Amino acid sequence: MPDGENDTLQKIQIYRELVEKYETLDAEIDALLAKNSGSSKNMSDEDRDHLRKLAWERAETLNHMRILEEQLKIDTDDN
């Protein structure tokens, strides 16, 4: 298998892992919000800190996904 093709396959695998991680983080955020009536105002300090950590990690994961999408020329336009 040529190096370029192997590199592309590796990037696709990493992208899939990032998508799975993003979806897991998103579900955790949704569950935490649901547990607190859909608002961070009702959260304990511990839950609010956890929400911030999850949201930051989800944003970082999305940034990495976008970089790979650009490298792989993935069209993410929903239109």
Distance CA 38, CA 34 (A): 5
pLDDT in the model for residue 56:
99
- Residues lower than pLDDT 70 in the chain: 1-2, 75-79
Domain ranges (residues) in the chain: 19-70
SS3 53: helix
Q: Is 25 exposed, middle or buried (0-12, 13-18, 19+ CB in 10 A)?
A: buried
pLDDT at res. 37: 86
Report pTM. 0.83
pLDDT value of position 1 = 58
44 vs 75: CA distance, rounded Å: 40
Burial label, 11 (beta-carbon count in 10 A; 0-12, 13-18, 19+): middle
Q: Which two tokens stand for residue 37?
A: 């009536």
> Over the stretch 51-62, which tens digit does the pLDDT of each residue have?
999 999 999 999
